[in-house]
Protein backbone atom coordinates (compact mmCIF):
# COMPACT_ATOMS: atom_id res chain seq x y z
CA UNK A 1 0.00 0.00 0.00
CA UNK A 2 3.05 2.29 0.07
CA UNK A 3 2.29 3.70 -3.39
CA UNK A 4 -1.18 4.86 -2.37
CA UNK A 5 -1.93 8.55 -1.87
CA UNK A 6 -2.57 9.27 1.81
CA UNK A 7 -4.72 12.39 2.17
CA UNK A 8 -6.09 14.17 5.25
CA UNK A 9 -9.12 16.43 5.48
CA UNK A 10 -11.31 18.03 8.14
CA UNK A 11 -14.92 17.30 9.02
CA UNK A 12 -17.72 19.22 10.70
CA UNK A 13 -20.11 16.98 12.58
CA UNK A 14 -23.84 17.31 13.11
CA UNK A 15 -23.16 19.21 16.36
CA UNK A 16 -21.18 21.99 14.66
CA UNK A 17 -22.29 25.60 14.99
CA UNK A 18 -20.04 26.83 12.21
CA UNK A 19 -22.78 28.52 10.21
CA UNK A 20 -21.70 32.17 10.08
CA UNK A 21 -18.78 34.19 8.69
CA UNK A 22 -16.32 32.08 10.68
CA UNK A 23 -16.96 29.27 8.21
CA UNK A 24 -15.17 31.28 5.54
CA UNK A 25 -12.18 31.71 7.84
CA UNK A 26 -12.02 27.94 8.36
CA UNK A 27 -12.25 27.25 4.63
CA UNK A 28 -9.48 29.76 3.94
CA UNK A 29 -7.24 28.23 6.62
CA UNK A 30 -7.72 24.70 5.31
CA UNK A 31 -6.91 25.90 1.79
CA UNK A 32 -3.81 27.84 2.83
CA UNK A 33 -2.41 24.91 4.82
CA UNK A 34 -3.16 22.58 1.89
CA UNK A 35 -5.48 20.17 3.63
CA UNK A 36 -7.13 17.80 1.18
CA UNK A 37 -10.81 18.29 1.91
CA UNK A 38 -13.63 19.57 4.09
CA UNK A 39 -16.66 17.39 4.84
CA UNK A 40 -20.07 18.77 5.87
CA UNK A 41 -22.63 16.88 7.93
CA UNK A 42 -26.39 17.34 7.78
CA UNK A 43 -28.91 17.94 10.54
CA UNK A 44 -32.07 19.88 9.75
CA UNK A 45 -32.92 20.48 13.42
CA UNK A 46 -29.38 21.45 14.43
CA UNK A 47 -26.93 24.32 13.88
CA UNK A 48 -25.02 22.48 11.14
CA UNK A 49 -25.18 24.40 7.83
CA UNK A 50 -26.87 22.92 4.80
CA UNK A 51 -24.13 20.82 3.14
CA UNK A 52 -24.94 21.75 -0.45
CA UNK A 53 -24.95 25.49 0.26
CA UNK A 54 -21.83 25.26 2.43
CA UNK A 55 -19.93 23.27 -0.18
CA UNK A 56 -20.85 25.74 -2.92
CA UNK A 57 -19.84 28.69 -0.74
CA UNK A 58 -16.53 27.06 0.11
CA UNK A 59 -15.73 25.93 -3.42
CA UNK A 60 -16.34 29.45 -4.68
CA UNK A 61 -13.55 30.91 -2.55
CA UNK A 62 -10.94 28.16 -3.03
CA UNK A 63 -9.06 26.48 -5.87
CA UNK A 64 -7.70 23.23 -4.41
CA UNK A 65 -9.73 22.21 -1.36
CA UNK A 66 -12.17 19.38 -2.03
CA UNK A 67 -15.65 19.28 -0.50
CA UNK A 68 -17.68 16.27 0.63
CA UNK A 69 -20.77 15.36 2.63
CA UNK A 70 -20.56 13.23 5.74
CA UNK A 71 -23.27 12.51 4.92
CA UNK A 72 -26.13 14.03 2.93
CA UNK A 73 -29.50 12.36 3.49
CA UNK A 74 -30.76 10.93 0.20
CA UNK A 75 -34.27 9.52 0.91
CA UNK A 76 -36.75 12.39 0.76
CA UNK A 77 -34.94 14.34 -1.94
CA UNK A 78 -35.78 14.52 -5.64
CA UNK A 79 -32.91 12.48 -7.12
CA UNK A 80 -33.03 14.16 -10.56
CA UNK A 81 -32.92 17.69 -9.13
CA UNK A 82 -30.15 16.73 -6.70
CA UNK A 83 -28.17 15.07 -9.51
CA UNK A 84 -28.38 18.32 -11.48
CA UNK A 85 -27.22 20.39 -8.50
CA UNK A 86 -24.27 18.15 -7.72
CA UNK A 87 -23.21 17.83 -11.36
CA UNK A 88 -23.21 21.62 -11.64
CA UNK A 89 -21.16 22.05 -8.47
CA UNK A 90 -18.78 19.30 -9.55
CA UNK A 91 -18.08 20.96 -12.88
CA UNK A 92 -17.86 24.52 -11.54
CA UNK A 93 -15.40 23.44 -8.84
CA UNK A 94 -13.16 21.60 -11.28
CA UNK A 95 -14.08 18.15 -9.99
CA UNK A 96 -13.56 18.95 -6.30
CA UNK A 97 -16.87 17.45 -5.15
CA UNK A 98 -16.91 14.23 -3.08
CA UNK A 99 -20.56 13.19 -2.72
CA UNK A 100 -21.40 10.88 0.16
CA UNK A 101 -24.91 9.81 1.07
CA UNK A 102 -26.76 8.18 3.94
CA UNK A 103 -30.21 6.92 4.85
CA UNK A 104 -30.86 9.61 7.44
CA UNK A 105 -31.05 9.76 11.22
CA UNK A 106 -33.69 7.85 13.16
CA UNK A 107 -34.55 10.98 15.14
CA UNK A 108 -38.31 11.65 14.74
CA UNK A 109 -37.76 15.34 13.99
CA UNK A 110 -35.31 14.54 11.22
CA UNK A 111 -37.62 11.88 9.81
CA UNK A 112 -40.48 14.38 9.66
CA UNK A 113 -38.27 16.86 7.84
CA UNK A 114 -37.54 14.40 5.04
CA UNK A 115 -40.98 12.79 5.08
CA UNK A 116 -39.75 9.20 4.75
CA UNK A 117 -40.83 6.30 6.92
CA UNK A 118 -37.93 4.49 8.55
CA UNK A 119 -38.99 1.19 7.02
CA UNK A 120 -38.82 2.72 3.53
CA UNK A 121 -35.46 4.47 3.79
CA UNK A 122 -33.19 1.74 2.46
CA UNK A 123 -35.34 0.95 -0.57
CA UNK A 124 -35.74 4.63 -1.47
CA UNK A 125 -32.01 5.18 -0.99
CA UNK A 126 -31.07 2.38 -3.37
CA UNK A 127 -33.47 3.53 -6.06
CA UNK A 128 -32.54 7.20 -5.68
CA UNK A 129 -28.84 6.45 -6.10
CA UNK A 130 -29.59 4.36 -9.18
CA UNK A 131 -31.52 7.26 -10.70
CA UNK A 132 -28.75 9.75 -9.93
CA UNK A 133 -26.09 7.60 -11.56
CA UNK A 134 -28.24 7.42 -14.69
CA UNK A 135 -28.57 11.21 -14.60
CA UNK A 136 -24.80 11.64 -14.46
CA UNK A 137 -24.24 9.77 -17.74
CA UNK A 138 -25.66 12.78 -19.59
CA UNK A 139 -27.73 10.44 -21.74
CA UNK A 140 -31.54 10.11 -21.87
CA UNK A 141 -32.83 7.29 -19.72
CA UNK A 142 -35.97 5.49 -18.67
CA UNK A 143 -36.54 4.36 -15.13
CA UNK A 144 -39.49 2.44 -13.75
CA UNK A 145 -39.26 1.68 -10.05
CA UNK A 146 -41.27 1.48 -6.89
CA UNK A 147 -40.81 5.17 -6.07
CA UNK A 148 -39.70 6.96 -9.26
CA UNK A 149 -40.77 6.72 -12.89
CA UNK A 150 -39.08 8.58 -15.74
CA UNK A 151 -39.33 8.43 -19.53
CA UNK A 152 -36.55 9.92 -21.62
CA UNK A 153 -35.19 12.10 -18.84
CA UNK A 154 -31.82 13.73 -19.52
CA UNK A 155 -29.74 15.80 -17.10
CA UNK A 156 -27.01 18.16 -18.29
CA UNK A 157 -24.26 19.12 -17.71
CA UNK A 158 -22.80 15.67 -17.23
CA UNK A 159 -19.97 15.57 -14.68
CA UNK A 160 -16.57 14.37 -15.89
CA UNK A 161 -16.48 11.98 -12.94
CA UNK A 162 -18.68 11.56 -9.89
CA UNK A 163 -17.39 9.08 -7.32
CA UNK A 164 -19.95 8.25 -4.65
CA UNK A 165 -18.76 7.50 -1.12
CA UNK A 166 -20.83 5.58 1.41
CA UNK A 167 -20.25 4.79 5.07
CA UNK A 168 -21.44 2.27 7.64
CA UNK A 169 -20.10 -1.01 9.02
CA UNK A 170 -23.29 -3.05 9.41
CA UNK A 171 -23.41 -6.09 7.10
CA UNK A 172 -26.13 -4.52 4.94
CA UNK A 173 -24.14 -1.29 4.67
CA UNK A 174 -20.92 -3.07 3.69
CA UNK A 175 -22.77 -5.01 1.02
CA UNK A 176 -24.29 -1.79 -0.35
CA UNK A 177 -20.80 -0.27 -0.60
CA UNK A 178 -19.60 -3.31 -2.51
CA UNK A 179 -22.59 -3.20 -4.89
CA UNK A 180 -22.82 0.48 -5.75
CA UNK A 181 -20.20 2.75 -4.11
CA UNK A 182 -16.92 4.14 -5.43
CA UNK A 183 -15.46 4.70 -1.97
CA UNK A 184 -15.97 3.79 1.70
CA UNK A 185 -15.83 6.34 4.54
CA UNK A 186 -17.04 4.81 7.84
CA UNK A 187 -16.94 6.45 11.26
CA UNK A 188 -16.50 5.14 14.82
CA UNK A 189 -14.34 2.24 13.65
CA UNK A 190 -11.04 0.67 14.67
CA UNK A 191 -8.26 -0.32 12.27
CA UNK A 192 -9.36 -3.95 12.71
CA UNK A 193 -12.91 -2.94 11.71
CA UNK A 194 -11.54 -1.19 8.60
CA UNK A 195 -9.59 -4.26 7.54
CA UNK A 196 -12.52 -6.63 8.08
CA UNK A 197 -15.00 -4.29 6.39
CA UNK A 198 -12.79 -3.85 3.36
CA UNK A 199 -12.55 -7.63 2.93
CA UNK A 200 -16.36 -7.88 2.84
CA UNK A 201 -16.68 -4.94 0.44
CA UNK A 202 -14.11 -6.36 -1.98
CA UNK A 203 -15.78 -9.77 -1.91
CA UNK A 204 -19.22 -8.31 -2.68
CA UNK A 205 -17.80 -6.02 -5.36
CA UNK A 206 -16.16 -8.98 -7.08
CA UNK A 207 -19.48 -10.85 -7.02
CA UNK A 208 -20.97 -7.92 -8.96
CA UNK A 209 -18.03 -7.77 -11.38
CA UNK A 210 -16.83 -4.40 -10.16
CA UNK A 211 -14.03 -3.05 -8.01
CA UNK A 212 -13.20 -0.06 -5.80
CA UNK A 213 -9.91 1.78 -6.21
CA UNK A 214 -7.33 0.90 -3.55
CA UNK A 215 -7.06 4.54 -2.49
CA UNK A 216 -10.82 4.97 -2.05
CA UNK A 217 -10.96 3.46 1.43
CA UNK A 218 -11.14 6.07 4.16
CA UNK A 219 -12.26 6.71 7.71
CA UNK A 220 -13.66 9.57 9.78
CA UNK A 221 -11.79 10.08 13.07
CA UNK A 222 -13.40 12.19 15.82
CA UNK A 223 -11.02 13.65 18.39
CA UNK A 224 -11.40 15.53 21.67
CA UNK A 225 -8.65 17.24 23.66
CA UNK A 226 -10.82 17.56 26.75
CA UNK A 227 -13.38 15.34 28.43
CA UNK A 228 -15.47 13.60 25.81
CA UNK A 229 -19.04 14.96 26.15
CA UNK A 230 -21.56 12.55 27.63
CA UNK A 231 -23.74 12.83 24.53
CA UNK A 232 -20.84 11.53 22.42
CA UNK A 233 -20.08 8.72 24.87
CA UNK A 234 -23.72 7.63 24.80
CA UNK A 235 -23.71 7.71 21.01
CA UNK A 236 -20.52 5.67 20.86
CA UNK A 237 -21.85 3.13 23.35
CA UNK A 238 -25.01 2.76 21.27
CA UNK A 239 -23.14 2.51 17.98
CA UNK A 240 -20.42 0.18 19.28
CA UNK A 241 -21.81 -2.00 22.11
CA UNK A 242 -19.17 -4.58 21.17
CA UNK A 243 -16.31 -2.39 22.43
CA UNK A 244 -15.34 -2.42 26.11
CA UNK A 245 -13.74 1.03 25.86
CA UNK A 246 -15.34 3.34 23.33
CA UNK A 247 -12.93 6.17 24.15
CA UNK A 248 -10.34 4.38 21.98
CA UNK A 249 -12.32 5.73 19.03
CA UNK A 250 -11.67 9.36 20.09
CA UNK A 251 -7.97 10.34 20.34
CA UNK A 252 -7.19 12.98 22.97
CA UNK A 253 -4.13 14.67 21.43
CA UNK A 254 -2.62 15.48 18.04
CA UNK A 255 -0.06 12.74 18.59
CA UNK A 256 -2.91 10.34 19.36
CA UNK A 257 -4.66 11.30 16.13
CA UNK A 258 -1.43 10.83 14.19
CA UNK A 259 -0.78 7.42 15.75
CA UNK A 260 -4.30 6.25 14.94
CA UNK A 261 -3.97 7.45 11.35
CA UNK A 262 -0.77 5.45 11.00
CA UNK A 263 -2.52 2.34 12.35
CA UNK A 264 -5.21 2.76 9.69
CA UNK A 265 -2.59 3.29 6.98
CA UNK A 266 -0.99 0.01 8.03
CA UNK A 267 -4.22 -1.84 7.11
CA UNK A 268 -4.62 -0.06 3.77
CA UNK A 269 -6.72 2.99 4.64
CA UNK A 270 -5.55 6.13 2.85
CA UNK A 271 -8.24 8.83 3.09
CA UNK A 272 -8.87 10.52 6.44
CA UNK A 273 -11.35 13.03 7.80
CA UNK A 274 -10.51 14.31 11.28
CA UNK A 275 -13.41 15.85 13.18
CA UNK A 276 -13.13 17.99 16.34
CA UNK A 277 -15.70 17.00 18.93
CA UNK A 278 -14.98 20.23 20.82
CA UNK A 279 -14.80 22.93 18.17
CA UNK A 280 -12.82 26.17 18.59
CA UNK A 281 -15.03 29.06 19.67
CA UNK A 282 -14.06 31.79 17.23
CA UNK A 283 -12.17 32.52 14.03
CA UNK A 284 -8.84 33.12 15.77
CA UNK A 285 -9.03 29.84 17.68
CA UNK A 286 -10.01 27.99 14.52
CA UNK A 287 -7.04 29.40 12.61
CA UNK A 288 -4.63 28.40 15.38
CA UNK A 289 -6.23 24.96 15.68
CA UNK A 290 -5.91 24.25 11.97
CA UNK A 291 -2.29 25.43 11.98
CA UNK A 292 -1.50 23.01 14.81
CA UNK A 293 -3.25 20.18 12.96
CA UNK A 294 -1.27 20.93 9.81
CA UNK A 295 2.05 20.76 11.67
CA UNK A 296 1.31 17.31 13.11
CA UNK A 297 -0.92 15.61 10.56
CA UNK A 298 0.07 16.78 7.08
CA UNK A 299 3.56 15.23 7.27
CA UNK A 300 1.70 11.89 7.29
CA UNK A 301 0.44 12.48 3.76
CA UNK A 302 2.07 10.36 1.05
CA UNK A 303 2.19 10.67 -2.72
Q: What is the DSSP letter of 268?
A: T
Instruction: Supply the pLDDT for residue 1.
Output: 45
pTM for this entry: 0.96
SS3 137: coil
SS3 44: coil
How does pLDDT run along the chain (303 residues), one tens digit per residue? 447 899 999 999 999 999 999 999 999 999 999 999 999 999 999 999 999 999 999 999 999 999 999 999 999 999 999 999 999 999 999 999 999 999 998 889 999 999 999 999 999 999 999 999 999 999 999 999 999 999 999 999 999 999 999 999 999 999 999 999 999 999 999 999 999 999 999 999 999 999 999 999 999 999 999 888 888 889 899 889 999 999 999 999 999 999 999 999 999 999 999 999 999 999 999 999 999 999 999 999 998
Write out pLDDT tens, residues 4-46.
899 999 999 999 999 999 999 999 999 999 999 999 999 999 9
- Contacts of the segment 204-211: beta carbons below 8 A, 24+ positions apart: 204/174, 204/175, 204/177, 204/178, 204/179, 205/178, 205/179, 207/178, 208/178, 208/179
Q: What is the CA radius of gyration of the chain?
A: 19
Torsion of CA 269, 255, 168, 185, to 10 degrees: -50
Burial of 147: CB neighbours in 10 Å, binned 0-12, 13-18, 19+? middle
Instruction: Supply the pLDDT for residue 4.
Output: 82
Contact 104, 55 (CB under 8 A): no
Contact 40, 70 (CB under 8 A): yes
Write out pLDDT tens, residues 39-60.
999 999 999 999 999 999 999 9
Q: How far apart are CA 4 and CA 212, in angstroms?
A: 13
Closest by alpha carbon to 68, among 99, 104, 34? 99
Amino acid sequence: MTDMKVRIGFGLGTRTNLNDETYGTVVDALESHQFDSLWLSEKISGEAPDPLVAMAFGAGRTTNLKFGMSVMVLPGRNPVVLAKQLATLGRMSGGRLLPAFGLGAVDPIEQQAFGVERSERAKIFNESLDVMKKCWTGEPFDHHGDYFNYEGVRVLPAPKRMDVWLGGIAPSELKRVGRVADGWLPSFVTPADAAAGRAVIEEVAAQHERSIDDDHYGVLIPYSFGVVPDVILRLLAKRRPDLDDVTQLVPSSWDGVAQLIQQFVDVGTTKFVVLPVDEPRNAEQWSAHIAEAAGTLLPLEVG
